[in-house]
Chains A and B, each alone.
Chain A
Amino acid sequence: MNRRDRKRINKEPRAKRRVTDDRLEPLPGIYIHIPFCRKKCDYCDFYSVIPASDLQQRYTEALLTHLRETSQFVHSPVETVYIGGGTPAMLGEKNLVTLLKEVQRLYAITSSPEITVELNPESTSFKLLSSLKKAGCTRLSIGVQSAVDDELKKLGRLHTFDEAKSAVELCRKAGFDNISVDLMYGIEGQTPESFRYSLQEVINLDPEHVSCYGLKVEQGTPLWDRRETADLPDDDAQADFYETACTMLRQAGYQHYEISNFAKPGYASQHNLKYWRLEPYLGFGPGAHSDFAGRRYSIVSSLDAYIEGIENDGEVIEEMEEILPQQRAAEYVMLRLRLAEGFDPSEFLRQFMIWPDSIEDKLREYEKSGHAKVDGRWSLTEKGFLISNTIISSLLEYI
């Protein structure tokens, strides 16, 4: 192990652990962040830049170097790969294909991996899609957001709904059978009617997976600056939207498997499930997060710092934290309760050696008020999902 490697992960991960349970050791996922956007959306506070000259090329090489260096610490096969952004297509078709191929060459990959690429409707072409498919991509996630063009404009999106619709059709034509669509509620000017219309249009597109997110007004975004005058639906309206989404998607055959995620049976996002099930994942690129070998760490969120760090053997980890068992227990409750599958009190006890009694007592209160339910495992109801912060933060007092 050379000096550079030590800096990147600080400590060599433990050798492959023995299987302790009847389950196999969870397998890691890989997230690769592409921080390029043609234009930043008005609500987005993720790190991204507008690429210039040879930046895509240099960035691709930096990513490949980083992936190569890290690969030697990863001893188990990778189950999922997720290339997100930003706008991954802005990396360029050639680079994107190289990246996909290299990840699969550098890491052992399971026999049927989930390999997702995020796409924006405006940067979709049949040629790109075919290349992605050929390079091993199995799943596409498309940012549709709304079926109302006015709302898309308010969000600062660069596409119309018709373009989004064509993009999805194009994906089908290219042979993709696992497509996820992002939909947003709480957009400026959105009404119950317009949201229902968007939902119906999305259902008509018949994607395998729908992510339905509430718009959050983040500091430092153009939307934040105009929040006082923007016609933003209030919390009650958002709650109504959410309930509408749950109902309509359920009726259309989607399972509500996580607070904001819906899937046809068998199509839940394997990659995102890793986040919620405390399974390991490795993040690459500026601002990416990892949970690996007992630590959570994040990569510097500036593209220049990242490229320079990789090119010159420097530091690219911004924050690293070893997660102690008690914190893990808190994470377990916090993340598992985002999932419809919820958490199993006896598993909690086995894993963290913490008696779940007081948590369960509290959950029983929430059961009475219709916010939680239990059938061996505890989980939140739709009503509970909506105020999950309140519920989870109150449960955290008992850990």
Chain B
Amino acid sequence: MHNINNIRNFSIIAHIDHGKSTLADRLIELCGGVGKRDMETRILDSMDLERERGITIKARAIKLNYRASDGEDYVLNLIDTPGHVDFNYEVSRSLAACEGALLVVDAAQGIEAQTLANTYLAIDAGLEVLPVINKIDLPSADPERTVHEIEDIIGIPAEDAPRISAKNGVNVESVLEYIVENVPAPVGDADAPLKALIFDSQYDQYKGVIVYVRVLEGVLRTDDLVRMMATGAEYEIVEVGYLRPIGMEKCEELLPGEVGYFTASIKNVRDTRVGDTVTQVERPTQKALPGYRRVQPMVFSGVYPSDGAKYPDLREALEKLQLNDASLTYEAESSVALGYGFRCGFLGLLHMEVVQERLEREFNLDLITTAPSVIYKVKYTDGREEKIDNPLNFPDPTLIEYAEEPFVAANIIVPSEYTGNIMDLCQGRRGIFKDMKYIDTNRVELHYELPLNEIIYDFFDALKSRTRGYASLDYELKDYRQSDLVKLDVLLNGEEVDALSFIVHKENAYARARRITEKLKEHIPRQMFEVPIQAAIGSKIIARETVRALRKDVLAKCYGGDITRKKKLLEKQKEGKKRMRSLGSVEVPQEAFMAVLKLDE
């Protein structure tokens, strides 16, 4: 029987490694959703890659049945949230489907930047935020300090927070009671016109797109004709159901407060955008749910197959990935250096990394990617304006009235001993210091405004290496600002290599040019002739290195007539050459293209 008062919709907010997935597993286990053995493959994170990196990219939902100590049966809908800054919008939509959120904090490590960002998102969305102190069994755990930290920083009471060890199943039952008691029941009129929030979708090759929804008002029924209010797409519902730990469970209808899915032979996830409102065509609701935003890629990069013949494979792989990832964009482009490939747009750095890894791993492709770029706004002297996401299209300085680049507000939490390192790093990346707060005696929170362009290179790596992995970062796009930007070109043997061009602030151009030429020198083997490596702004050379001519590459001895071994060596050398890119007369190994993406070493 549907009783809206006995539904609890909640999310779990936690930093990577603070135990979100483990806690979810325990909750599912306790609700008898699934056997312990199935738990080994964690249900919420179903992508290999996510599991390996301990992050969750796609939101999912699971319906659990729980008989509470008051003797009543409750439906608990656990809605998972992506744990990374790039998916901020998706997180906000998942949270909008809930009435409460568990804030899981590692008792040994305390609050991290990402936790904080998502907690604020939850508070802003009007959710009841319920702290849970996890990993209390660790020797370094300090639950009391963690409680104070939560109260001081976030400003919510945490004295009653369950102290648990999800890993060892300590006190986990109390979390369920805590949810039942503290997460408000949903409210919603079943007789009102249908209003349901899309918080995720996934492509299935048999059913088409599976749309995950939370019904707010009205009823979602099989055979209903529905409309997506933002995209205007209309579909006849084929199937509705609940998402259970072991799979999908069909039902007749979804009522207010319920969380589930529907299918409608939808071919493309682009038509079912996260945050969109589903309503009935016959009796539509007056107003769509607030907060819908069309997600726009912020970071762009050229993606090329190392083997030019694999171009069709890459296109097919991107098509398939896009079925499930509406935020990924791509269009064909070609490069003199790298041949045919695609200009891809990503939500952010992690999204880019994830897509590239999936292309390589799931589709078995060997890729070369070019330096990531952001969207620049250029105002020409003739008054024209243009948005540019590819360094190649960046105009000659003489044609530019001014250029603008995106800035982000960054929030970095770091053990206080590394504060100096981080400040140096941000300074070097043209960061504008805003303020600094002590979270406790050991940790500080730094606020900076940084050009996005400086973050997308290797900022994460630099951050980690300067803090022995202890820093956490969160950022959001703030605004566009005028900047003295220039295009830096790289020339090999006097010829421009289009794939290596990038846009940089004039002040940093020299340093970056020096690093990039040094890096290339390390990675380009000596050739038959001397190869100058130059970096230039327009026609002005600002850095130069030289790969000296190869002088010795010979098998001197050839004793005893062992020709076979010699032949093998030369064959190997010949094969090695095939993996090189010929740029004019210069052979460049593929690693060289990748090496310039990591300049901070």
Q: Which residues of A contact B (CB under 8 A)?
A: 31, 33, 46, 84, 213-214, 216, 235-236, 238-239, 242, 259-260, 272, 274-276, 281, 283, 287-291, 296, 298, 319, 321, 327, 330-331, 334-335, 338, 366, 369, 371, 385-390, 392-394, 396-397
- Cβ of B384 < 8 Å from any Cβ of A? no
Are A335 and B571 in contact, CB atoms less than 8 angstroms apart? no
Q: How far is the CA of A386 from the CA of B569 in the complex (A)?
A: 16
Q: Which chain A residues lie closer than 8 Å to B573 at the CB level?
A: 389-390, 393
Q: How far is the CA of A397 from the CA of B577 in the complex (A)?
A: 10
Are B563 and A388 in contact, CB atoms less than 8 angstroms apart? no
- Across chains A and B, which 9 residue pairs bring their CB atoms closest together, nearest first? A239-B551, A393-B573, A214-B556, A239-B552, A235-B552, A393-B574, A389-B553, A387-B553, A213-B556
Are A259 and B561 in contact, CB atoms less than 8 angstroms apart? no
Chain B's nearest CB lies how many Å from the CB of A97?
A: 22
Chain A's nearest CB lies how many Å from the CB of B601?
A: 21
Partner of A386, one of B552, B562, B571, B577: B552
- Name 16 interchain pairs, CB-CB below 8 A, sorted by A: A213-B556, A216-B557, A235-B551, A259-B556, A275-B563, A291-B561, A334-B566, A369-B529, A385-B554, A387-B551, A387-B553, A389-B573, A393-B570, A393-B577, A394-B574, A396-B574
Q: How far is the CA of A338 from the CA of B558 in the complex (A)?
A: 10
Partner of B560, one of A235, A276, A288: A288
Are A84 and B556 in contact, CB atoms less than 8 angstroms apart? no
Q: Which chain B residues lie closer than 8 Å to A335 at the CB level?
A: 563
Chain A minimum-CB-distance residue to B572? A393
Q: How far is the CA of A275 from the CA of B567 in the complex (A)?
A: 13
Are A387 and B569 in contact, CB atoms less than 8 angstroms apart? no
Are B553 and A331 in contact, CB atoms less than 8 angstroms apart? no
Are A290 and B552 in contact, CB atoms less than 8 angstroms apart? no
We find that the number of chain B residues with CB closer than 8 angstroms to chain A is 26
**0 or 1 for each of B528-559: is its CB under 8 Å from A? (1 = yes):** 11000000000000000000101111111111
Q: How far is the CA of A223 from the CA of B553 in the complex (A)?
A: 20
Q: How far is the CA of A369 from the CA of B567 in the complex (A)?
A: 25
Q: Which chain B residues lie closer than 8 Å to A291 at the CB level?
A: 561, 563
Q: Which chain A residues lie closer than 8 Å to B550 at the CB level?
A: 387, 390
Chain A's nearest CB lies how many Å from the CB of B230?
A: 56
Chain B's nearest CB lies how many Å from the CB of A219?
A: 13
Q: How far is the CA of A225 from the CA of B528 in the complex (A)?
A: 31
Partner of B554, one of A272, A276, A298, A386: A386
Q: Which chain B residues lie closer than 8 Å to A296 at the CB level?
A: 563-564
Q: Which residues of B contact A (CB under 8 A)?
A: 528-529, 548, 550-564, 566-567, 569-571, 573-574, 577
Known: A239-B551, A389-B555. A330 touches B567 (CB 8 A): yes
Are A236 and B574 in contact, CB atoms less than 8 angstroms apart? no
Known: A235-B552, A387-B552. A321 touches B564 (CB 8 A): yes
Q: Which chain B residues lie closer than 8 Å to A214 at the CB level?
A: 552, 554, 556
Chain A's nearest CB lies how many Å from the CB of B521?
A: 15
Are A387 and B554 in contact, CB atoms less than 8 angstroms apart? yes
Q: How far is the CA of A236 from the CA of B548 in the complex (A)?
A: 10
Q: How far is the CA of A288 from the CA of B577 in the complex (A)?
A: 31
Chain B minimum-CB-distance residue to A281? B561
Known: A290-B561, A371-B528. A331 touches B567 (CB 8 A): yes
Are A390 and B553 in contact, CB atoms less than 8 angstroms apart? yes
A272-B558, A291-B561, A390-B553 given. 12 additional CB < 8 A pairs?
A213-B556, A276-B558, A283-B560, A289-B561, A289-B562, A334-B566, A387-B528, A387-B551, A394-B577, A396-B574, A397-B574, A397-B577
Chain A minimum-CB-distance residue to B566? A334
Are A386 and B561 in contact, CB atoms less than 8 angstroms apart? no
Are B553 and A289 in contact, CB atoms less than 8 angstroms apart? no
Q: Which chain B residues lie closer than 8 Å to A389 at the CB level?
A: 553-555, 569-570, 573
Known: A393-B573, A393-B574. A31 touches B561 (CB 8 A): yes
Are B551 and A390 in contact, CB atoms less than 8 angstroms apart? no
Chain B's nearest CB lies how many Å from the CB of A84?
A: 6
Q: How far is the CA of A272 from the CA of B558 in the complex (A)?
A: 9
Chain B's nearest CB lies how many Å from the CB of A146?
A: 15
Are B552 and A238 in contact, CB atoms less than 8 angstroms apart? yes
Chain B's nearest CB lies how many Å from the CB of A302?
A: 16
Q: Which chain B residues lie closer than 8 Å to A387 at the CB level?
A: 528, 550-554
Chain A's nearest CB lies how many Å from the CB of B112?
A: 41
Chain B minimum-CB-distance residue to A369? B528
Are A386 and B563 in contact, CB atoms less than 8 angstroms apart? no
Q: Which chain A residues lie closer than 8 Å to B552 at the CB level?
A: 214, 235-236, 238-239, 242, 386-387
Q: Which chain B residues lie closer than 8 Å to A275 at the CB level?
A: 558, 561, 563
Are A283 and B561 in contact, CB atoms less than 8 angstroms apart? yes
Chain B's nearest CB lies how many Å from the CB of A395?
A: 9
Chain B's nearest CB lies how many Å from the CB of A236?
A: 6
Chain A's nearest CB lies how many Å from the CB of B575?
A: 9
Q: How far is the CA of A351 from the CA of B553 in the complex (A)?
A: 29
Q: How far is the CA of A140 from the CA of B567 in the complex (A)?
A: 29
Are B557 and A260 in contact, CB atoms less than 8 angstroms apart? yes
Q: Which chain B residues lie closer than 8 Å to A31 at the CB level?
A: 560-561
Chain B's nearest CB lies how many Å from the CB of A235?
A: 4
Q: Which chain A residues lie closer than 8 Å to B571 at the CB level?
A: 393, 396
Are A396 and B554 in contact, CB atoms less than 8 angstroms apart? no
Q: How far is the CA of A369 from the CA of B562 in the complex (A)?
A: 31
Chain B minimum-CB-distance residue to A285? B560
Q: How far is the CA of A125 from the CA of B543 in the complex (A)?
A: 64
Chain B minimum-CB-distance residue to A237? B552
Q: Which chain B residues lie closer than 8 Å to A319 at the CB level?
A: 564
Q: How far is the CA of A213 from the CA of B560 in the complex (A)?
A: 14
Known: A387-B550, A393-B577, A396-B574. A289 touches B556 (CB 8 A): no
Partner of A390, one of B528, B548, B559: B528
Q: Which chain B residues lie closer than 8 Å to A388 at the CB level?
A: 553-555
Chain B's nearest CB lies how many Å from the CB of A282?
A: 10
Chain B's nearest CB lies how many Å from the CB of A352?
A: 16
Are B560 and A84 in contact, CB atoms less than 8 angstroms apart? yes
Chain B minimum-CB-distance residue to A29? B561
Chain B's nearest CB lies how many Å from the CB of A308?
A: 22
Known: A392-B570, A396-B571. A236 touches B561 (CB 8 A): no
Are B569 and A84 in contact, CB atoms less than 8 angstroms apart? no
Q: Which chain B residues lie closer than 8 Å to A236 at the CB level?
A: 548, 551-552
Q: Which chain A residues lie closer than 8 Å to B567 at the CB level?
A: 327, 330-331, 334
Chain A minimum-CB-distance residue to B527? A390
Chain B's nearest CB lies how many Å from the CB of A13?
A: 17
Q: Which chain B residues lie closer than 8 Å to A390 at the CB level?
A: 528, 550, 553, 573
